[in-house]
Amino acid sequence: MALPVRHDGETFNNAPREHCCLCRGLTRYWYVRADVALCEVCAETAQVSDIPRKEDWLEKERALDPSLVSRRFAKVGDHQFRESF
């Protein structure tokens, strides 16, 4: 069963796209229930159990691209990041 995803819409029109939590493709679609980026392609086939927790997703993104996460996710309140900033 496809998961419902929502386009991030006009409000964030100028924001960079996020990495899909499954394939890491850039997307403007979100799986709102878990508050993680999820592209339309993955949403077609993904199960709820495939979706990482937001904390895990951020952890992965942070590991893969610290500069991106430091810029984008500082608001999450990761004190580890802040200490290294």
Taking the complex as a whole, how short is the minimal distance between the CB of residue 73 and Zn ion, in angstroms?
A: 19
CB closer to Zn ion out of 25 and 81: 25
The nearest distance, CB 3 to Zn ion, in angstroms, is 11
Smallest gap from Cβ 6 to Zn ion, in A, equals 15
55 near 74, Cβ under 8 Å? no
Looking at the Cβ atoms of 20 and 69, the one nearer to Zn ion is: 20
Does residue 81 contact residue 74 with C-beta atoms inside 8 Å? yes
Residues that bind Zn ion (CB under 5 A): 20, 22-23, 25, 39, 42
Q: Which is nearer to Zn ion, 61 or 78 (CB)?
A: 61
The answer to whether residues 40 and 5 touch, using CB atoms and an 8 Å cutoff, is: yes
Render 27-51 in DSSP notation, one character per residue.
Answer: ESEEETTTTEE--HHHHHH--GGGS
